[in-house]
Structure 1
Amino acid sequence: MNLDTNQKVLFLTDIENGLEPILQEATKIRPENMVTIQSYGPVISNLFGDIMRSVVLAIYQANVKEIFVVGIKDKGITSVNSLTQVDSIKDEILKLDDSIQNSMADFLDDTVNEWLTGKENVSENIEKCVDIIRNHPLVPSDVRVRGLIINNKNGKYSKAEVVTN
């Protein structure tokens, strides 16, 4: 992967236990050089939201020169999908969708449902996040941003693969 194993590397990952050893093996980065931001799925839905703020601060405070947006292949998103099917939240989602269409220009997703669930294709989520980070006005052009997919087969994680556009 041609990484400088002595520099700080940021991993934007899913909230999932057991990813660090796989990331270390895939990238050869030592644990002391790993900075991790965890989220429910590697999704950035606002250019100036909390996750993007954390990414920018990590770049400048930890001197991060490389970022990996990490997704898990074959991880079900059923819990989020089932949440959006609950009747009490359906009406609120529809109201918010109307608001988004009429006023919130900085909302990066088309609907609240898409914002909650993300795209079903992990590669699309990762590519979108990589693109957002690469093109953010506060991210220096010399910071390398890449995507990484970790395969999940029967609850066991295996080698990661780099996503390229």
Structure 2
Amino acid sequence: MSVDKNKKVLFLTDMENGLEPILQEVTHTPAENMLTIQSYGADISHPYGEIMRSVIIAIYQEDVEEVFVVGTKDKRTSTGHVRTQLETMKDKLQTLDYLFQNCRPEFSGGTFDKWLNGNENSSDAIEKSVDIIRHHPLVPSYVKVRGLIVNQKDGQSSIEEVPAIKTASSVT
């Protein structure tokens, strides 16, 4: 996997520490050309949310030509503690569940729990995020968008590319 050494590359990553050197090595991107946006889960839950806004601004302000959505294999953000704290507000949670079920598309996911916990499968979440960025009306068509999964096991790191979602128009 090789990237033009002169172009800026944006990485949307999980909060996992130590990903930048691995990504720099695998993509052959100089550190000065790397931009990183970190979030819990490294996925975009809404095409007009804050993470997508940051991606779009980075593309235009920093002349980004390639975006990588990077997840970590078999790592899910634990929201159990957050959920336990929120249990004390049962009436608000019921209201949120009602809004999630009846006020789409403002709230992605079918329930509050699905929204809070995100996608169970990191590969699926990356595919969805890549698709959202790639097809966003404010993202220029020349910007390449790819998904990667980093597997850090026993002190070794490996990276696999996540295939793009197959749309009805691309299936023949």
TM-score of the pair, normalised by structure 1: 0.89
Is the partner of 1:65 in helix, strand or coil? strand
Aligned to 1:17: 17
Question: What amino acid maps onto 2:159 in structure 1?
Answer: A
- Aligned-residue RMSD, C-alpha: 1.8
Q: Give 4+ residue runs of structure 1 displaced > 4 Å after superposition.
A: none
Q: Offset of 1:8 from its aligned partner?
A: 0.2
Is the partner of 2:75 in helix, strand or coil? coil
The 1:135–1:107 alpha-carbon spacing in structure 2 relative to 1, beyond 3 Å, is farther
Structure 2 unpaired stretches of 5+: 165-172
Question: What amino acid maps onto 2:157 in structure 1?
Answer: S
Aligned to 1:151: 151
TM-score of the pair, normalised by structure 2: 0.86
Q: Offset of 1:90 from its aligned partner?
A: 5.5
The 1:102–1:131 alpha-carbon spacing in structure 2 relative to 1, beyond 3 Å, is same
The higher-RCO structure (CA 8 Å, 6+ apart) is 1
Aligned to 2:50: 50
Residues 127 and 147 in structure 1, CA contact (< 8 A), matched pair in contact too: yes
Aligned to 1:80: 79
Most deviating of 79-88 and 109-118: 79-88
Q: Offset of 1:130 from its aligned partner?
A: 0.5
Most deviating of 100-109 and 49-58: 100-109
Of all paired residues, the percent bearing the same amino acid is 56
Alignment of 1:12-161 (within 5 A): 12-77=12-77, 79-86=78-85, 87-88=87-88, 92-154=92-154, 156=155, 158-161=157-160
The 1:90–1:157 alpha-carbon spacing in structure 2 relative to 1, beyond 3 Å, is farther
Residues 75 and 152 in structure 1, CA contact (< 8 A), matched pair in contact too: no
Aligned to 1:164: 163
Structure 1 unpaired stretches of 5+: none
